Chains A and B, each alone.
Chain A
Amino acid sequence: MNTITAASTAHFEYLLRIADTSLILGQRLSEWCGHGPVIEEDIALTNVALDLIGQARLLLSHAGRLEGKGRDEDQLAFLRTEAQYLNLTIAELPNADFARTILRNFLVAAWQRELWQGLANSADAELAAIAAKSLKETRYHLQHAADWTVRLGDGTEESHARMQRALDTLWPYTAEFFSASADDPAIVSAVIGPAWSTLEPAWDAAVRPVLEVATLTVPARTPFLSHGKTGRHTEYMGHLLTEMQYLQRTYPGGTW
């Protein structure tokens, strides 16, 4: 019995790491609504936000059913405490400027593309279906962000400087995309999904050529490692959750 419970918890948390990354990045991108530098980008960033939140809804609904405690997508999205969110730290960082927002979308979308592909043959049929669907959306997110990465990186002196600054800030956080989780062996042996460390070579091969065309210098890897996916978050997370959870906490079960 213990083995089954442990495996289920690992499965649940594996889903949360993916779902929460989509959810929190979607929440961040939605902050651009009405603030985009041009109307087309305002629309693009909010469209990407909608896709990400849609992916999170599917994943959280599935995780809730798997958990079997009667929690639905809303309860999981809005009523957990900070340490119970398992998103990659990079997702919760402030948007800062358009350069950092675009570069983050690029780095994350390239990672999601590898992850969705790695989940295509998951023994969890629902997860495989969500991944197959999300992959198609992520390709458009990646294309959008990659186009802008090149355009801004290989752009004006100002846009290049901002993109390089964004890369220097964000790059250390990408180590978390591939760091090991304690339950990797359980996840891999149950064929739920890949250990994320295996995604790094393909991600590297996708990301570096674009950064090169964008004339950006990739920083060296440092010992810095962020820990959002274990529930240890930055000081930005509490503020984000306060805003995101306000409605459900003030009007529990509210619908419209």
Chain B
Amino acid sequence: MLTSAQAWDILGRVPDPEIPVISVTELAIVRDVQVAADGVDVVVTPTYSGCPATEVIERSIREALSAAGAGEVRVTTQLAPAWTTDWIGPEAQEKLRAYGIAPPGPSRAGDVQPLQFMPRVACPRCGSAETERLSQFGATACKALYRCRSCREPFEFFKPL
């Protein structure tokens, strides 16, 4: 039987399928882990309702825990409180930046974003603030496409949510 700390440690090594530089625990998709005599209960929360990675993540969680001898792995989904990028810690935000994805920064929770509002985003490569948005949506729903006017490199921005 695994300890709770071991279970968390195993999940901390399960990469996000779309952004493999951070784990499913760093992304705060895993909300709770309970170790029981016959297995492990894992509570997860989706990032975006339509995120196609959700099912892959569930499978990866099952596989990782089963491989470590966790017994039966039960994964349940919890919607409230709704996932927010504020749960991604400073260390993981820095990993995103080093990987070339501008980290989300604070979401100003509850704040209604004004229309035609473009947040200032620093280039993850050269640090310049002279950047512009190319598209509100990137290769995944959680990211926007930007371009740096200083180093001329395109980059992705993990949108605050």
> A: which residues have CB within 8 A of B?
40-41, 43-44, 47-55, 57-58, 125-126, 128-130, 132-134, 136-137, 139-140, 142-144, 146-147, 150, 210
Are the CB atoms of A129 and B48 closer together than 8 Å?
no
Which residues of A sit under 8 angstroms from B49, Cβ to Cβ?
51, 54-55, 57-58, 130, 133-134, 137
Please pick, from B79, B113, B141, the residue contacting A133 in the complex, using a CB distance under 8 A.
B79
B69 within 8 A of A: no
Contact residues of B between 58 and 76, Cβ < 8 Å to A: none
Identify the closest chain B residue to A213 (Cβ): B116
Which residues of A sit under 8 angstroms from B135, Cβ to Cβ?
40-41, 43-44
Given A55-B49, A129-B82, also A143-B116 (CB < 8 A): yes
Please pick, from B50, B51, B83, B117, the residue contacting A143 in the complex, using a CB distance under 8 A.
B117
* A81 → chain B closest CB, angstroms: 26
Given A51-B50, A129-B82, also A144-B136 (CB < 8 A): yes
Interface string of B119-161 (1 = CB under 8 A from A): 0000000000000001111111100010000000000000101
Are the CB atoms of B82 and A133 closer together than 8 Å?
yes
Identify the closest chain A residue to B135 (Cβ): A40
Q: How far is the CA of A142 from the CA of B137 in the complex (A)?
A: 12
Q: How far is the CA of A142 from the CA of B116 in the complex (A)?
A: 10
B115 within 8 A of A: yes
Q: How many A-B residue pairs have CB under 8 A?
A: 86
Interface string of B20-33 (1 = CB under 8 A from A): 00000000000000
Are the CB atoms of B81 and A132 closer together than 8 Å?
yes
Are the CB atoms of A43 and B137 closer together than 8 Å?
yes
Are the CB atoms of B82 and A132 closer together than 8 Å?
yes
Residues of chain B at interface, number, CB under 8 A: 28
Q: How far is the CA of A108 from the CA of B51 in the complex (A)?
A: 21
Are the CB atoms of B80 and A48 closer together than 8 Å?
no
* A155 → chain B closest CB, angstroms: 14
Query: SS class of chain A's interface: helix, strand, loop or mixed?
Result: helix
Q: How far is the CA of A130 from the CA of B50 in the complex (A)?
A: 12
28 pairs of residues in contact across A and B, judged by CB atoms under 8 Å: A40-B145, A43-B135, A43-B138, A47-B50, A47-B137, A47-B141, A50-B51, A50-B52, A51-B48, A51-B141, A52-B50, A53-B50, A57-B49, A58-B79, A125-B80, A128-B80, A130-B79, A132-B79, A133-B46, A133-B80, A133-B82, A137-B141, A137-B161, A140-B137, A143-B113, A146-B116, A147-B116, A147-B136
User: Which of B84, B115, B159 is the most central at the interface, judged by chain A CB atoms within 10 Å of its CB?
Assistant: B115
Are the CB atoms of A50 and B145 closer together than 8 Å?
no
Which residues of A sit under 8 angstroms from B50, Cβ to Cβ?
47, 49-55, 137
Are the CB atoms of A54 and B136 closer together than 8 Å?
no
Which residues of B sit under 8 angstroms from A43, Cβ to Cβ?
135, 137-139
Which residues of B sit under 8 angstroms from A125, Cβ to Cβ?
80
Which residues of B sit under 8 angstroms from A53, Cβ to Cβ?
50
Which residues of A sit under 8 angstroms from B83, Cβ to Cβ?
133
Identify the closest chain B residue to A132 (Cβ): B82
B37 within 8 A of A: no
* B84 → chain A closest CB, angstroms: 8
Which residues of B sit under 8 angstroms from A137, Cβ to Cβ?
48-50, 141, 161
Identify the closest chain A residue to B109 (Cβ): A136
Which residues of B sit under 8 angstroms from A129, Cβ to Cβ?
79-80, 82
Which residues of A sit under 8 angstroms from B134, Cβ to Cβ?
40
Q: A134-B49, A143-B136, A146-B116 are in contact. List 7 more A-B contacts (CB 8 A).
A: A43-B137, A50-B52, A50-B141, A51-B141, A55-B50, A136-B82, A150-B116
Which residues of A sit under 8 angstroms from B79, Cβ to Cβ?
58, 126, 129-130, 132-133
